[in-house]
Structure 1
């Protein structure tokens, strides 16, 4: 009985990974030899990149501000307040910027992808595309994938930049830390390696969001209820995948790019 209870979820998970692998292979084939739809790509750049900027900026700024404030409360007891800028810079670029931006985009963009494609699925619009010899992966997935892997690293960089700027305001204007020392320590402890990690994580998280969200949309069924369930699963699965992947990428990338590596 116990084996049956444990075996069914395990088999469902393996089947789910298999479906994702098939979709990933189809996406790779579409990117290499499929028809390029530049108008749809530009539409997705606007939807994913441009329209996501407000939420990314606000998230990055307030995460940087609260990280600076909490860090300074601790560092003040050690008389190391000037290190606050370095703490925020490394933290935002290597960890908080990529992870939180990815989770926010999973909610905003991933859910939208799943809902839009899922609606097309249950209303048989995807079948209509096939009847017109239009491959659904080329038309629906490839433009979103290209736009996402370009936009997410840039959005993460933007979130980190605003987080670092907000931390400067909190540190120097609220806590009264010397501006010169704050800037000096931030420059000394921020390297190109931190930016490399941020961009690599952004690329990986963008791929995960598109893969999981489009899969949920393409597999939607049972009308509006199924679309709603697929949208919820897309957001939850994408967020969990980002957080889990972030741990393994952190362990790997910190071996390749140690903290403080000179650019």
Structure 2
């Protein structure tokens, strides 16, 4: 059977896939955080990174270039083009938890490609808001106060608590499921470049796209101002 965990690390085997899937064309890994695939490759693991976004794959390729034993290709996590029991571990960082009703299928695919006794790992945000950089955007959207745009809605509208995520892993065949809280420090762009640098990520939010289309200059200026206040 496969074990499940809410964190990554302490791997002893040498080969696994890594992926994040986006519903639109945004590029995960924007900003200054390092993709999980590069973290693995740097430590000598063989990595198969996938995403449905060609832009994300280009970015992953750039960051994986210094290493060996990796591949990065466009692929849907709901239909993995790998054989059964092919990997020692598979994990999704802020990925399959966004799939809604499709999450069970994605988890089933992860389990299928991992050998018995391997590891399946899923990382989720600690709250429905997700990353802290969504807060300035939330305030800017609400300050816009436009009925056609609406009020901000937390990114993780189908957020799963730890116990629910653990149950989902058990339901697809994982055993020894554990959940751990993890804290990390990562850089957020300064107020001057905040909106532009993180625009590909923010575009997963329908109300963000609506606000940019309705009042691009005003909304972006307000977003930068909210980021300045957050840092102050």
Alignment TM-score, normalising by the size of structure 2: 0.28
Structure with the greater alpha carbon radius of gyration: 1
Which structure has greater helix proportion?
1
Q: Which has the higher contact order (CA 8 A, sep 6+)?
A: 1
Alignment TM-score, normalising by the size of structure 1: 0.26
Which structure has greater strand proportion?
2
